[in-house]
A and B are shown apart, each in its own frame.
Chain A
């Protein structure tokens, strides 16, 4: 595992600890060789080598595994979470909380005492039709509501972003792709400083909202081509058509995903280029251009 690949996992652990109300400052981490974990201040992270909770030991806290091997022979009075690497809960071992497995290899002995055993299954895209329709309607409601509001209240703003999408799709796509990728890297590194973790979370959420804003404008553009007189209704219908087309794109292997990313990048770039629609985007004029 390279540092670049390890950083996201450590980041995930930090986020999970922060979300659970834990104190990231007191966590202990083992990276190399054989480590006996006899006591834990709050959280122990096994990142490499072999970390063992010995048979006679009782640790009061949570254990996270992101690399190497963790062996539980004794008692963990808390949760054990496996994100990557190997976990072995042996005969006679006790975990009072949950053994949660996201990825990696877990072996839990039937003679071990575990409060709850849980394996994370990524939600399959082909879950029940009712679930998919429900999810679609929820997105339509949120995005459609926003689209309706902005078209009715601030039509100029949407027009500006729409013009950047239709008239300067390539420029918007380039700026969107470059900007989004750069910002993601920046936020991940900010999060890793811990001090800037809240800023990073806000930034990532803001990025997501900008992507949604772009999608709403795509819906608006489709709506302007529909034979519906009222702008708000046309936008709502356009957003429904856009989301449906977006879903269909997702079904197409590889190319569908690429197209979805391209659409998101164009929308993102158009929003940035127009200062969220406050100003119409005009490229610089180069002498000799007709």
Chain B
């Protein structure tokens, strides 16, 4: 791990880059998985009085608008050279955080559907600009060999905080916490973006020049990785699959009180802590595997874990359907813990992958398309499918059975794909080591 070398050699500027990146990404991701994903549902259903279906439709719209804005932002960043300009990126981020601060502050006061819709559109603009900008900071702040470990640290801290801190999933609670946490963050970003004194300028100049040494991602040292090349398209499709499977399953799980109250919303602090620790363990494992194995191995582990998780969930439900008397006392925390490990795995991969598939000239576009298509489009599609399942009154078991089938198919498909690729290599006489 290069961070240790930097600390030993007292290269504090480089170390400050690590700290800044982790802090920004943790804050952003924590905001996304709590306020956006959970607070919005509460805001729409409880305060505005919309049906869950209507709120889900608006969340789908949020995902689509975010995707469009992100791609526009990413392409603009690369074309105008903002991707390689640290100060511009920090200023953009400052603007995004200001917008989100205002939106977070006013969210609990929203009571009408038009106001809710306007809030969603404005939030999409903030998110759409925010994530390509924040992901592109990796090329300035994080050396390539450490990206897996740094991604693991971001995932571990964000998920640990989200699960270990016992918050009610209410927009008022989230809003108060976020406003208090964002205020000092805005101040720091304002100083970094606009203040001009010698030491700060020197720090930002040094960090801003780092993309020249470690801006080229781990997977970009051979043939150039373009948006239309398989080297980029395949990870996008695979990540789309992971996000889709996760989102489709989780949407139904959090809609099922017996599953929710025995896991993420359990009144027992020990259960939440258990899940929080599982997230940390999963993130550390993913970081180590990302840094030491090929990308295909990380994907295989991710799919295997998801497949196993859903096999366990559906087995439990089948068992409970067959033997209701045994299943009467709630569910085991083992299933959500395994789910947490799987989620941490792909989240870590998501944080490290897109900068590693980019160069300083392409990081805006690649991060926007990668996260936009894989993350937001998958969320939109899975929400739409979940709504359809709801409309046709699909049972919990049938719903999760579809998710299980998809996860097993992804695992099988990837294994077959890797095997076939090796066969093609051998047939072409390239019998060397496979990636």
Q: Does A174 sit at the interface, judged by CB under 8 A?
A: yes
* B311-366 residues at the A interface, CB under 8 angstroms: 311-312, 315-316, 319-320, 323-327, 329-332, 334-335, 338
Stretch of A110-118, A175-183, A252-260 contacting B (4+ beta carbons < 8 Å): A175-183
A residues less than 8 Å from B285 (CB atoms): 174, 177-178
Known contacts A170-B288, A178-B285; is A287 also within 8 Å of B326 by CB? no
Contact call A3/B289, Cβ cutoff below 8 A: no
Contact of B316 among A2, A31, A185, A283 (CB under 8 A): A2
Least CB distance from B54 to A in Å reads 34
How far, in whole Å, are A174 and B152 apart by their CA atoms in the complex?
A: 13
Binary interface encoding of chain A residues 210-236 relative to chain B, with 1 for a CB under 8 A from any of its CBs, else 0: 000000000000000000000000000
**How far apart sit A67 and B325, CA to CA, in the bound complex (Å)?**
10
For the complex, give the distance between the alpha carbons of A286 and B288 in Å. Answer: 13
Q: Which of B304, B305, B324, B332 is A2 in contact with, Cβ under 8 Å? A: B332
Q: Tell me which residues across on chain A come within 8 A of B308, comparing CB atoms.
A: 182, 185-186
Across-interface contacts of A283 in B (CB, < 8 A): 291-293
B399 at the interface (CB under 8 A from A): no
> Is there contact, CB below 8 Å, between B145 and A286?
yes
CB contacts (< 8 Å) of A7 on chain B: these are: 315, 319
B-chain residues with CB within 8 Å of residue A192 when the two chains form the complex? 315
Q: Whose C-beta in chain A lies nearest to the C-beta of B334? A: A4
Q: Does A124 contact B (CB under 8 A)?
A: no
B335: A residues at CB distance < 8 A: 4
- Decide if B329 touches A174 in the complex (CB within 8 Å): no
* B294 in the interface (beta carbon within 8 A): yes
Query: Which A residue sits closest to B338, measured CB to CB?
Result: A185
Q: Smallest Cβ distance from B282 to chain A, in angstroms?
A: 9
Nearest CB in chain B to that of A178: its residue: B285
- Residue numbers in A under 8 Å from B294 (CB-CB): 284
- Give which listed residue, A4, A49, A178, contacts B301 with CB less than 8 A: A178
- What is the interface of chain B mostly: helix, strand, loop, or mixed? helix
Q: A2 near B323 (CB under 8 angstroms)? A: no
Question: Which stretch from B96-104, B214-222, B235-243, B381-389 is at the chain A interface?
Answer: B214-222
Q: Which of B258-302 contact A (CB under 8 A)?
A: 284-285, 288-289, 291-294, 301
Number of A-B contacts (CB under 8 A): 95
Given A31-B324, A168-B292: A288 and B316 interface contact (C-beta under 8 Å)? no
CB within 8 Å for A286 and B144 given contacts A4-B335, A168-B292, A170-B288: yes
List residues of B (137-191) whose CB comes within 8 Å of A's CBs: 143-145
Is A48 a contact of B323 with CB atoms below 8 Å?
yes
B331 touches which of A4, A47, A48, A177 (Cβ 8 Å): A4
Q: Is A122 an interface residue (CB 8 A)?
A: no
Residues of A within 8 A of B320 (CB): 3
CB distance from A278 to the nearest CB of B (A): 16
- Which residues of A sit under 8 angstroms from B316, Cβ to Cβ? 2-4
Q: Are A288 and B214 in contact (CB under 8 A)?
A: yes
**A12: chain B residues within 8 A (beta carbon):** none
* Cα separation A111 to B285 with both chains bound (whole Å): 59
Q: Supply 15 further A-B pairs (C-beta < 8 A) apart from A178-B301, A288-B143.
A: A1-B326, A2-B330, A3-B316, A4-B335, A32-B323, A32-B325, A48-B326, A49-B325, A170-B288, A171-B289, A174-B289, A185-B312, A283-B292, A287-B144, A287-B216
Could you tell me which A residues sit within 8 Å of B by CB distance? Answer: 1-7, 31-33, 47-49, 67-68, 168, 170-171, 174-175, 177-178, 182, 185-186, 189, 192, 283-284, 286-289
Closest 8 CB pairs of A and B: A4-B332, A48-B325, A283-B292, A32-B325, A3-B319, A288-B144, A2-B332, A289-B145
